Structure 1
Amino acid sequence: MTKSAELSVPALMRKYGLSARKSLGQNFLLDEAALEKVVAAAEIPAQATVLEIGPGLGSLTRHLARAADRVVAVELDQNLIPALQEVLSAEKNVTILHGDILEQNIPALVSDPGYLVVANIPYYITSAVIRHLLEAPVRPSRLVLTMQKEVADRICAKPGDLSLLALSVQVYGEPRPVARIPAGAFYPPPNVDSMVLRVDLYPEPRIPNDQLNDFFRLAKMGFAQKRKTLRNTLSAGLHWAPEKAAQMLAAAEIDPMRRAETLSLAEWARLVCVYRETAK
């Protein structure tokens, strides 16, 4: 058996008595062409640091190690660590950490300006991971994430079909789909196809940092009951009379009868400014 065959995911799983854990959403990306698409999408500068979330059995990590100056790989499943260490034993620029990325202090892991995040993240924590990264004190310059295609489509939505998740990403950066990955590229194959999503972060959020808390507060209210008008959702969330909420929306040049998913980021920004004046 060749060295590459010995380090294949099926061989490692047999050797270490491993099985994919459904509770952790484990679907290992095996297809070499798909792995190369992920790395190509990242456009990793030679001196860059890459944070990888959920390296699994290291298939993507090996590609990242060849492209980046340094890779920090954070794996939640302790059972995978011995196999991962074997796979990456020759990669001296890789640091393997055991832990939950949602409990990690990101600047303690990577403080390098311009670091990138490249990951095949479990579907069930996609939204939470993205929020954790984008709200970190030191934000990455780029995210390249393999995720459920339906979620990627939601993140890239335009006004008229926006969601709280889409706004939460688009306020920080520009998302775009890069490559569709069929279910058969994974082991075990998931029930749906995946998409490689790239998000290039803006130097600063599109809403000023000191207004972000108010933005998210209003947006959460707006999307709490999607079928209701902003006049009704904001009056309920703010405990205001409907007339006062309508006046605030009108002052922001927004029809009070519109729904949250129809507002552009520019309109949300105007609404936040008017709200801050109204709430004084």
Structure 2
Amino acid sequence: MRHRSPAPPNRLPAPRKRFGQHFLTDTRVLDAIADALGDVSEKIVVEIGPGRGALTDRLVARAARVVAIEVDRDLVQHLRARYADRPNVEIVEGDVLTRNLAELAGGPYVLAGNVPYYITTPIIFHALALPRPDKAVYLVQKEVAERMAAPPGDKTYGALSVNLQAVVDVEYLRKVLPGAFNPPPAVDSAVVRVTPKPASAIEPELEERYRSFVLAAFGLRRKQLVRVIRTVASLDAERAQEVVAGCGLDPMARPETLTPAEFARLVRALYAAPSSR
């Protein structure tokens, strides 16, 4: 296995395709992301993919503490040198998907990141693990941002929309053009803010079941609801009809028209223990 020589101290590490690196350089967008986190003067900020430190610089100037997770070893060395004199900054080397974000923060935290497009959805769901961040601001592919925020019945509404909106509020904040990055990506991007709901649509103990059910249901998105229930839950037609009727739903409805709360009613009817219904 070949190893790259570290970049000289006066030169920034080059982007690496294998990590999907597109470094955000537009100062207006960088400021907008930092602003979207709100007042973090007494908060811990966890940053995903700090890259060369453009957003990190802004977070360090505002936050009580910053924990930045970077997978690229060259960038880790660059960042550790860059913030060597800042005791409130910790640079963690590793894959964010293998790290417990709450444990790294050591307490309540907010989250920010320019998320690599090839693993956007896994990272977003990883950040939904309890205890969730008090707020998260992501820079993602525009198409993903639209799906995250889409309402029921919208052409982009799907499993990602439902699973997120069951437990968090999603705000589409702004579009970001390719020229804001170095190197420019082939697609438009967007900034989204995610905030936990005061009351989730689904109970914590049913979240895993909920996500699996929603994914399976959208695999049958053109099927009517009774057929979806029969297939996903392995029920006969009569029992499937009873479940749908008991939830007060239209048996001819399709998954793309159901709200997160309506999906939650179905999951409770199918999987919740009698004492928890």
Deviation at 1:262, TM superposition (A): 0.7
Secondary structure class of the residue paired with 2:127: helix
Q: Which of 203, 216, 226 lines up with 1:231 in the alignment?
A: 226
Distance 1:277 1:14, change over 3 A: closer
Residue 111 (str. 1) matches residue 109 (str. 2): no
Secondary structure class of the residue paired with 1:160: coil
- Distance in 2, matches of 1:238 and 1:60, equals 45
- Letter of the aligned partner of 1:89 in structure 2? A
- Letter of the aligned partner of 1:67 in structure 2? R
Residue of structure 1 in register with 2:4 after alignment: none
Deviation at 1:79, TM superposition (A): 2.1
Q: Which of 198, 202, 219 lines up with 2:197 in the alignment?
A: 202
Distance 1:250 1:120, change over 3 A: same
Residue of structure 2 in register with 1:158 after alignment: 151
Deviation at 1:92, TM superposition (A): 2.7
Over residues 19-65 of structure 1, what are the superposed CA-to-partner deviations in whole Å (9 max), with x where a residue is unaligned? 31222110000111111111111113310000001101111101000
- Distance in 2, matches of 1:133 and 1:13, equals 34
- Distance in 1, matches of 2:25 and 2:253, equals 45
> Across the two proteins, how many residue pairs are aligned to each other?
267
Secondary structure class of the residue paired with 1:63: helix
1:62-81 pair list within 5 angstroms: 62-81=57-76
- Letter of the aligned partner of 1:265 in structure 2? P
Distance 1:279 1:223, change over 3 A: farther
Deviation at 1:239, TM superposition (A): 1.6
Residue of structure 2 in register with 1:132 after alignment: 126
Deviation at 1:177, TM superposition (A): 1.1
Residue of structure 2 in register with 1:49 after alignment: 44
TM-score, length basis structure 1: 0.88
Residue 148 (str. 1) matches residue 141 (str. 2): yes
Q: Percent identity, please.
A: 36
Q: Which moved more, 1:76-85 or 1:148-157?
A: 76-85
- Distance in 2, matches of 1:167 and 1:277, equals 19
- Distance in 1, matches of 2:39 and 2:259, equals 31
Residue of structure 2 in register with 1:176 after alignment: 171
- The runs of at least 4 aligned residues of structure 1 exceeding 4 Å deviation read 12-17, 277-280
Over residues 62-97 of structure 1, what are the superposed CA-to-partner deviations in whole Å (9 max), with x where a residue is unaligned? 100011000000001112122222332343311001
RMSD of aligned Cα (Å): 2.1
Distance 1:78 1:278, change over 3 A: closer
- Distance in 2, matches of 1:278 and 1:250, equals 19
Which structure features the higher share of helix residues? 1
Distance 1:174 1:101, change over 3 A: same
Structure 2 runs not aligned, ≥5 long: 1-6
- Letter of the aligned partner of 2:234 in structure 1? H
- Distance in 1, matches of 2:206 and 2:182, equals 43
Distance 1:246 1:95, change over 3 A: same
- Letter of the aligned partner of 1:32 in structure 2? T
CA contact (8 A) 1:171 1:206 kept: yes
Over residues 115-168 of structure 1, what are the superposed CA-to-partner deviations in whole Å (9 max), with x where a residue is unaligned? 100111111111101111112x32101010001111001000101132111112
Deviation at 1:13, TM superposition (A): 8.3
- Distance in 1, matches of 2:55 and 2:29, equals 10
Residue of structure 1 in register with 2:258 after alignment: 263
Deviation at 1:276, TM superposition (A): 3.7
Q: Which moved more, 1:100-109 or 1:237-246?
A: 237-246
Structure 1 runs not aligned, ≥5 long: 1-11
